[in-house]
Amino acid sequence: MKRAVAAMKWLTRTSAIVLLVVVGSTILVRFAPGYFSDTREMDARYADVARAEMSMEAARSGSFPHLLFSEIGGWMRGDAGQSREYGIPVLDLIGPRLRVTGSLLLRALLLSWALAVCAALVSSAGRKPSLFWQAPATLLMAIPAAAMATICLLADRGGPVLVLALLLAPRDFKFLHRTLRKAWLDPHLLQARAAGIGRARLLRAHLLPSIAPQIGALASLSIATELSGLVPVEVIFNVQGLGQLAWNAALNRDLPVLLAVTMIMALAVIASGMAIDHPDQPGEWSSI
């Protein structure tokens, strides 16, 4: 019974988010400057064609409720509507890209966690300011993803996975480093260290279990960061993923595609948020 209520709550929450995101994105895209313009209008040869296409689009999405209705109608039909730029069902565009991006994100996540956990374990056990670990992490944080990707291209080394992982790793590292330092200073650990128990054993028996619940927060932090770096990395490395598609869709004001991508992002964010809420029993956090 309790589980059913929790599921209902989750469902309500998810659908509320999805609905708000759909309405919000439609408003943002439709009323952003340039929704009814086409680059070809500037080219005297193609201007007439472009203007004709634009007036058709204006007829389609002239009134906002009408536009919203037609977008939602696409989802009801099951193909997420027609791409404005390519004239094919959005799902056909998104399907193969979802796999590419998913695998990219997952690999980058694993690599960055491996890097961050290793580095944080070592640095938190070491001497206090641990500049040796902090400086490279800060350096990585200071370089924009696009610049990192270009430097990778220039060096002919590393690919999108590495860049995304390097984008993520310092943030995860800083988070873990702080968590671990706090854990090392817990009274029972201090006592155990004073009693001469080896670090490796402490790590296994006390430290890792004590930070395990934080992994949820780490996942949520990581996914938000990854999504922010996805577009530049995919565009620069020419990865055929969602980030590249979203970028194209934004440039072309391709509302149906953007809506679909935004929806996927929203679901990813919700999923990562679930990892946060999970350790609590549903409903418990507010019932103490």
Partner 1 sequence: MKFNLVAAWLLMGVVLIAAAIVAAPGASYSKQDRLLPLAGATIHHWAGTDALGRDRLVRVAAALLLSLGGALAAAAVTTAAAAGVGTLAAFGPRGLGWIALLICDVFLALPWLFLLMMVRSALPLTTSPANSAAITFLVLAALGWPACARAVYRGAVDLKRSEWMLHARAEGLRDGQLIRYVIPSLVPLLLPQFLICIPAFIVAEANLGALGLGVGEPLPSWGGMLLELDNSALLFQTPWVYLPVILLVIVLLLLEAIPAEA
Partner 2 sequence: MRHSSRLVVAFYMILAVLAGKTSGAQAASRLPGELVWAIGSDPKTFDPAQVDDQWSELVRYVTSGVLVRFNRLTQTVEPQLAESWTLSADGKTVTFKLRPGLRFSDGSGLTSRDAAWSIRHALLPASHAVVAEEFLSPGGVTVETPDLRTVIVHLPGRVIGIGKVFDEIAIEPANRPSQGRVTAGPFVVAEYRRLQYVRLRRNPYYYGRDAAGNSLPYASGIRLDILQDQEMQIRLFLRGEYDLINNLPPDYFELLKQKDSSSVRDLGPSLNTEQMWFNQAPESPLPGWEKSWFQSRAFRVAVSQAIHRDDLARIAYQGHATPAYTFISPANAAWYDRSVNAPHTDLAAARAGLADAGFHLSGNQLEDRENHPVKFSILTNAGNDARLKMATLIQQDLTALGMQINVVTLDFPALIERLMHTQDYEACLLGLANVDPDPNVMMNLWLSSSPNHQWNPSEKVPATPWEAEIDRLMKQQASSLKQAQRKIAMDRVQQIVADEQPFIYLVYPNVLLAVSPRLQGVQPAVLDPRLAWNVERLRLEGGR
Residues found near partner 2 in the complex (CB under 8 A): 32-52, 86, 88, 93, 111, 114-115, 118-119, 121-122, 125-126, 150, 152-154, 156-162, 165, 199-200, 203, 235-240, 244-245, 248, 251-253
Q: Which of 223, 208, 213, 210 has the alpha carbon at shortest distance from 276?
A: 213
Partner whose binding site includes residue 79, from partner 1, partner 2, none (CB under 5 to 8 Å by kind): none
Count the Cβ atoms, other than its own, within 10 Å of residue 71: 22
Residues contacting 202, CB < 8 A, separation 6+ = 189, 192, 193
Q: Which CB atom, from 24 or from 48, has the smaller least distance to partner 1?
A: 24
Token pair, residue 23, equals: 């309405």
Least Å distance between CB 276 and partner 1? 5
- For 70-120, give the DSSP string: HHHHHHHHTS--B-TTT-SBHHHHHHHHHHHHHHHHHHHHHHHHHHHHHHH
Each residue 62-101 as x (binds partner 1 by CB under 8 A) or -, in order, gives ----------------------------------------
Q: Which of 184, 121, 122 has the alpha carbon at shortest distance from 192?
A: 184
Burial of residue 177, with CB atoms counted within 10 A of its CB: 0-12 exposed, 13-18 middle, 19 or more buried: buried
Each residue 132-171 as x (binds partner 1 by CB under 8 A) or -, in order, gives --xx--xx-xxxx-xx-xxx-xx----------------x
Burial of residue 62, with CB atoms counted within 10 A of its CB: 0-12 exposed, 13-18 middle, 19 or more buried: exposed
Token pair, residue 89, equals: 């069902």
Partner whose binding site includes residue 119, from partner 1, partner 2, none (CB under 5 to 8 Å by kind): partner 2
Partner whose binding site includes residue 48, from partner 2, partner 1, none (CB under 5 to 8 Å by kind): partner 2
Q: Which CB atom, from 153 or from 203, has the smaller least distance to partner 1?
A: 153
C-alpha dist (Å) from residue 222 to 139, 177, 240, 273 = 18, 15, 22, 11
Partner whose binding site includes residue 39, from partner 1, partner 2, none (CB under 5 to 8 Å by kind): partner 2
Q: Does 57 engage in binding with partner 1 (CB under 8 A)?
A: no
Cα–Cα distance for residue pair 40/48, rounded to 1 Å = 9
∠ CA 76-240-165, nearest 5°, is 110
Partner whose binding site includes residue 102, from partner 2, partner 1, none (CB under 5 to 8 Å by kind): none
In the complex, the residues that contact partner 1 under the rule CB under 8 A are: 13, 16-17, 20-21, 24-25, 28-29, 31-34, 128-129, 131, 134-135, 138-139, 141-144, 146-147, 149-151, 153-154, 171, 174-175, 178, 181-182, 185, 216-217, 220-221, 224, 228, 236, 246, 250, 258, 262-263, 265-266, 269-270, 273, 276, 280, 285-286, 288
